[in-house]
């Protein structure tokens, strides 16, 4: 068989084998475990690099495996998958470094990193899934393997968080499965094809297709934390910081958003979805969620909860972008998949550093912390500005394209929405940043010598902050997120 057949399964296998090797290790085998972790993450980066080069030079990566009856499990790389795997591979590498530093003394590290790697495997599967059933298989797998990570601390609060997390996501998964099975009974296997394959059915049975869309997007909306299905996200914050970073930036929330993107572009097709009148309600739901998340974030004092509500708000930019018609809005939504990931992961890294090094969990405790930890807070500031949409950080690019796209699509109402949301973001991020830099510290932090914290924690935060900045400054250059997105947009809307 061709080497191109093996690349996509290989990418999954790298993380999977890493997990299998890590599980049986003893707690004390720190070096071996770290070597396996970083080795796996590095190998994955290389493979993703090869695949990115391959698809840009016209190779096709596809692997099919017969599953049940006429169903197949399909892994295929297209430009949408490319966005997701590039994001995952880079952030995964950095999060692994961070997690190794973060969990230095905590128990059950082998179990933690085993499930951590399984989590990557599932995410890669979601990214590369070439049909709806394959997508579902990995989507549910992700739910299962993140559960032990969420409850990792094993406290009553953690277990409660895990319980709520499962209640939401498994119910969502069930609704999703109902929709998928119903759709299959009408059409047979549903491949992801740009433009979808439902045009004929949309004429025959529009009402059924609308209901199925509601089931599928409703199921996906749980992970994508669309209001009012977002309830699990703030509660799942009990997880250790690297896990939260992962859930918000790359894995769970992104899986939901990515699923919605797939369904609109590759299952229904944007024209059919629009023709059935499905996009306007979705954009409305996204708009409500954007405002709701920001308003709730205003009232939070717990830093991680604040960031969680911020995610609720930010992730809906993706849904908003893809539900407005037109290539520019699509670009804005898709590029935000990447931008939000980089910025949010930075914020969580910083929150984790603050809690690990100084024991700071609350916004009100952050006064003057900039003097104690200038590098950490610099990273936080960059990412926070990005969330608000201040140029030249990446978030600005997303919002700019979303706004332009909305105007192009004749949806003027989106522009004030973006402005309002930006203002709300500023209302909760600017006071934090201001207080951290310009107020005098209340707490008596011990004087430090040497670096402000463990470099394994600091380096990933700085790296993602720099990436967020670079993605904004160099948006027009090749290899920027926007540049990668342009291929997907061309694929969807034509040149």
Q: Where along the sequence are the contacts to another protein (CB under 8 A)?
A: 66-69, 71, 107-108, 111, 133, 136-137, 140-141, 143-144, 147-148, 151, 153-156, 159, 162-163, 166, 170-171, 174, 177-178, 181-182, 184-185
Q: Which is nearer to another protein, 171 or 364 (CB)?
A: 171
In sign, the C-alpha dihedral spanning 267, 268, 271, 277 is negative
Minimum distance from residue 174 beta carbon to another protein (Å): 5
Judged by CB, which is closer to another protein: 156, or 494? 156
Q: Which is nearer to another protein, 155 or 490 (CB)?
A: 155
**Which is nearer to another protein, 138 or 401 (by Cβ)?**
138
Per this entry, what is the length of the chain?
495
Which residue pairs, CB below 8 angstroms and at least 24 apart, start in 146-149? 146/115, 146/119, 146/243, 146/247, 146/251, 146/252, 148/111, 148/112, 148/115, 149/112, 149/115, 149/116, 149/119, 149/239, 149/240, 149/243, 149/246
Burial class (CB in 10 A: 0-12, 13-18, 19+), 237: buried
User: What is the CB-side half-sphere exposure of residue 416 using CA atoms within 13 A?
Assistant: 2
For residues 62 and 40, what is the distance between their CA atoms, to the nearest angstrom? 22
Residue 378: exposure state from Cβ atoms within 10 A (0-12, 13-18, ≥19)? middle
Measured from the CB of residue 158, what is the shortest distance to another protein in angstroms?
Answer: 8
Handedness of CA 431, 432, 436, 439 (dihedral sign): positive
Residue closer to another protein by CB (options 174, 490) is 174
Q: Give the nearest distance from C-beta 106 to another protein in angstroms.
A: 11
Which is closer to another protein, CB of 194 or CB of 208?
Answer: 208
Q: CA-CA distance, 398 to 59, in Å (whole number)?
A: 29
Closest distance to another protein from the beta carbon of 281 (Å): 24
Cβ 219 vs Cβ 172: under 8 Å: yes
Closest CB to another protein among residues 112, 380:
112
Distance CA 461, CA 443 (A): 24
Residue 358 C-beta: closest distance to another protein, Å = 25
For another protein, which is the closer residue by CB, 36 or 318? 36
Q: What are the contacts of 150-158 at 24+ separation with CB within 8 A? A: 150/236, 150/238, 150/239, 150/243, 150/247, 151/239, 152/108, 152/112, 152/239, 152/240, 152/243, 153/238, 153/239, 153/240, 155/238, 157/238, 158/238, 158/239
Q: How far is the CB of 239 from another protein (least distance, A)?
A: 13
Q: Which is nearer to another protein, 192 or 265 (CB)?
A: 192
**Beta carbon nearer to another protein, 181 or 295:** 181
Which residues face 62 on adjacent strands?
A: 76
**Cβ distance to another protein smaller for residue 181 or 404:** 181
The helix or strand, by DSSP H or E, that contains position 75, with its residue range, turns out to be strand 72-76
Q: What DSSP letter does each residue of 247-311 carry, written as one string?
A: HHHTSHHHHHHHHHHHIIIIII-HHHHHHTT-HHHHHHHHHHHHHHHHHHHHT--BHHHHHHHHH
Residue 155 beta carbon to another protein: minimum distance, rounded to whole angstroms = 6
Q: How far is the CB of 63 from another protein (least distance, A)?
A: 15
Q: Min. distance of Cβ 167 from another protein in angstroms?
A: 8
Least distance to another protein, CB of residue 159, Å = 5
Residue (153 or 336) nearer to another protein, CB:
153
- Nearest approach in angstroms of CB 144 to another protein is 6
Q: How far, in Å, CA of 30 to CA of 261, rounded?
A: 40
Residues 6+ apart with CB under 8 A from 284: none
Closest approach of Cβ 137 to another protein, in Å?
4
């Amino acid at each position: 068989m061709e080497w191109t057949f093996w690349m996509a399964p290989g990418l999954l296998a790298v993380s999977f084998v890493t997990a299998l090797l890590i599980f049986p290790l003893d707690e004390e085998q720190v070096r071996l475990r770290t070597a396996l972790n970083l080795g796996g993450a590095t190998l994955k980066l290389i493979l993703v690099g090869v695949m990115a080069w391959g698809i840009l030079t016209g190779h096709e990566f596809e692997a099919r495996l017969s599953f049940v009856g006429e169903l197949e499990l399909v892994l295929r790389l297209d430009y949408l998958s490319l966005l997701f795997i590039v994001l995952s591979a880079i952030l995964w590498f950095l999060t692994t470094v961070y997690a190794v530093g973060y969990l230095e003394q905590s128990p059950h590290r082998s179990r933690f990193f085993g499930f951590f790697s399984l989590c990557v495997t599932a995410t890669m599967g979601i990214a590369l899934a070439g049909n709806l059933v394959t997508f579902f298989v990995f989507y549910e797998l992700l739910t299962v393997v993140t559960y032990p990570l969420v409850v990792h601390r094993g406290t009553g609060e953690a277990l409660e968080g895990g319980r709520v997390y499962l209640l939401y996501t498994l119910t969502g998964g069930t609704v999703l499965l109902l929709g998928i099975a119903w759709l299959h009974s009408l059409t047979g296997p549903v491949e992801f094809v740009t433009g979808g394959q439902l045009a004929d059915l949309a004429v025959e049975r529009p009402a059924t297709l609308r209901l199925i869309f509601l089931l599928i997007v409703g199921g996906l909306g749980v992970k994508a934390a669309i209001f009012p299905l977002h309830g699990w996200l703030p509660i799942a914050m009990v997880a250790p910081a690297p896990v939260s970073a992962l859930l918000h930036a790359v894995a769970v929330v992104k899986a939901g958003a990515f699923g919605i993107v797939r369904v609109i572009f590759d299952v229904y097709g944007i024209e059919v979805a629009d023709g059935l009148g499905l996009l306007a309600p979705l954009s409305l739901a996204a708009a409500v969620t954007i405002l709701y998340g920001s308003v709730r974030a205003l009232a939070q004092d717990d830093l991680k909860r604040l960031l969680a509500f911020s995610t609720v708000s930010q992730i809906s930019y993706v849904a908003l972008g893809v539900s407005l018609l037109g290539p520019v809005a699509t670009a804005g939504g898709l590029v935000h998949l990447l931008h939000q990931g980089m910025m949010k992961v930075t914020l969580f890294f910083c929150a984790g550093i603050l809690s690990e090094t100084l024991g700071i969990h609350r916004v009100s405790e952050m006064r003057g912390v900039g003097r104690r930890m200038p590098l950490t807070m610099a990273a936080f500031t960059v990412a926070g500005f990005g969330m608000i949409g201040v140029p030249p950080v990446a978030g600005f690019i997303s919002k700019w394209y979303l706004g332009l796209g909305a105007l192009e699509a004749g949806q003027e109402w989106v522009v004030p929405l973006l402005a309002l949301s930006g203002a709300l973001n500023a209302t909760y991020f600017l006071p934090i940043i201001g207080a951290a830099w310009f107020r005098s510290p209340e707490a008596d932090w011990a004087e430090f010598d040497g670096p402000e914290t463990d470099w394994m924690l600091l380096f990933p935060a700085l790296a993602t902050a720099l990436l967020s900045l670079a993605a904004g400054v160099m948006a027009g250059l090749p290899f920027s997120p926007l540049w990668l997105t342009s291929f997907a947009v061309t694929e969807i809307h034509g040149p």
